[in-house]
A and B are shown apart, each in its own frame.
Chain A
Amino acid sequence: MNRLLRSEFRKVATTKLWWGMLLGSIAFAALGVVAQIAANGVKNNSAAPLTDPATQRAVLSSSVSGYLFSAIVGIIIITTEYRHFTSRPTFLLEPRRARVITAKVLVAAAVGLLYGIACVAVSLLIAVPWLSAEGVSLDWVANGLIVVLVGSIAVVAIFAVVGVGVGALFRNQVAAVISALAYLFVLEPLFTVIPVVKEAYRFLPGAAGSALAGVSRPQVTLLTNWQGALVLLGWGVLFAFVGWALTVRRDIP
């Protein structure tokens, strides 16, 4: 397994994808923090003042936006093999395909963890000095800010694993990325407005991630942090299993 981990790590490290996506996730996180602090107190902004713990949690949970990028990296880690037919040397050197997928899942999770930590670091670097300049003091433990930060990192890491499963399912890179984005931005939000399935919404990956990162969604009841953590972890395991099972069963193109 060490050999495979090393091989998979090198695959990621020897192309520019990982840091391009890292910059993207950092930029999104920073944008979220800046927008929320700058817009606070502006006329017609319904958000509570910066001294409100809920607002503080919302500002810091901008870190979670890295999940989009980590999911795409997860997808690309596997679909790039089929796109460029590097799947052939990969599975020739390790015909036990499940091990290859396991290595990819672990490397994707590590990349996701890195993105999550980077996003949290950038959010803190912007929010902490800015808020203290505004005269706001932060109570990290009592107001659950720590939970938001740790939860955000976990969400970003787990979505990378989900991405590997989605990639293994579709194999076609463009189809996988478009489907994942369409699901997260169109399909899943639709659940909140359809009465019959509305109750199921909070168990879906995006909603569970929001719960884990402490993001609040208007007019929707989310799971608690811990429930969100368990449900999202479940999705991660499910998608990893899908990737594993499909790759073992299907012919390698």
Chain B
Amino acid sequence: MADERGRIVVSGVTKLFGSVRAVEDLSFTVEPGAITGFLGPNGAGKTTTMRVLLGLAAATAGTATVAGVAYARLPNPGRVVGAVLESTSFHPARSALNHLRVYAAAAGIPDGRADDVLALVGLTAVARQPVKGFSLGMRQRLGLATALLGDPRILILDEPANGLDPEGIAWLRGFLRHLARDEGRTVLVSSHVLSEVEQTVDSVVIIARGRLVHEGTLDELRGRGAVSVVVTSPTPDRLAEALVPLGASVSSGPEGALRVTGATAAHVGHAAWQAGVELHGLRQESSSLESVFLELTEDSAPPPAEPPALTP
């Protein structure tokens, strides 16, 4: 299958750190030609999932494949997958250009490509400066440049917008869109803030406490939100009485209005008309994407701990 080359498949992955379940029976698929957001609160298991996917951590159960095979079995992975995990993977004393040359050598990529990717992310001016003087935004760009060294079909980026200013986020958005939509690459970006990637991604995989809570397009995510009707009337008490037969729940809304959930605007309008109640306003509202995201990810159970950090 042609698509196989750009597809990421996570299938039933569980990862335990001691007795802590960081990821539990997680399955999802990422297709090429689009940007997929990998969302969840901090500690939901995003980085752990990516580490399993990239062969850095062994899954306790389940499998993850990139381009049809386990990452560790890719013959020259740098040419297939470009990945950045939490953009802090630099030796502080090494210059940006030398950093890229170190990894270009490992992947068998000509040194000239290091200059190319630096230009691509706009870091040519600081190529010979040590990374320790770089801002978080510059480190993000250098991480991206490292991922792009091998001109990979698949990009896996962990929190790439973290630390970028609004201008940087707009640049990243345009850059990733170009890579995914114009060039047909697979782009998976993680974030703990939906609004950060809302305008960038085509579809989302949302996890919470190590489990999948949603996989699909942003519209499908919106559709999971509760619809409510905000209705205003000079006689709210009579209106509330008239709405009882609908079986919907009625609460007080903004500025003396009533908020009705579990019924459409048409139902509410009809019930008011039948009871002869005067209406001054009637509108249907769906909850914002952000609130749907929060509802899905903010359930009662406490989030699992992150894997024990290695303290250098």
A residues apposed to B, CB below 8 Å? 3-4, 6-7, 10-11, 14-16, 79-80, 82-96, 171-174, 251-253
Residue B119 is within 8 A (CB to CB) of chain A in the complex: no
Determine whether the beta carbon of A14 is less than 8 Å from that of B94. Answer: yes
Question: Given the known A-B contacts A3-B108, A10-B102, A14-B102, are A93 and B55 also in contact in the complex, defined by CB atoms under 8 Å?
Answer: no
Interchain Cβ contacts within 8 Å, total number: 92
Return A168 CB to nearest CB of chain B, in Å.
Answer: 13
- Residue from the list A6, A16, A84, A92 in contact with B78, Cβ < 8 A: A92
Given the complex of chains A and B, what is the CA–CA distance between A253 and B73 in angstroms?
A: 20
Determine whether the beta carbon of A3 is less than 8 Å from that of B105. Answer: yes
Q: Which residues of B contact A88 (CB under 8 A)?
A: 56, 85, 89
B residues apposed to A, CB below 8 Å? 51, 54-58, 71-74, 77-78, 81, 83, 85-86, 88-95, 98, 101-103, 105-108, 146, 309-312
Given the complex of chains A and B, what is the CA–CA distance between A94 and B71 in angstroms?
A: 10
Given the complex of chains A and B, what is the CA–CA distance between A14 and B100 in angstroms?
A: 11
Determine whether the beta carbon of A93 is less than 8 Å from that of B103. Answer: yes
Question: Given the known A-B contacts A88-B89, A89-B89, A251-B58, are A7 and B106 also in contact in the complex, defined by CB atoms under 8 Å?
Answer: yes
Return B75 CB to nearest CB of chain A, in Å.
Answer: 10
The 5 lowest CB-CB distance pairs between A and B, nearest first, are A7-B106, A95-B72, A251-B57, A83-B312, A7-B105
Considering residues B85, B86, B102, B106, which has the most beta carbons from chain A within 10 angstroms of its beta carbon?
B106
Q: Which residues of A contact B51 (CB under 8 A)?
A: 251-252
Which residue of A is nearest B106, CB measured? A7
Determine whether the beta carbon of B83 is less than 8 Å from that of A92. Answer: yes
Determine whether the beta carbon of B91 is less than 8 Å from that of A84. Answer: yes
Determine whether the beta carbon of A92 is less than 8 Å from that of B102. Answer: no
Which residue of A is nearest B108, CB measured? A3
Determine whether the beta carbon of A172 is less than 8 Å from that of B311. Answer: yes
Return A173 CB to nearest CB of chain B, in Å.
Answer: 6
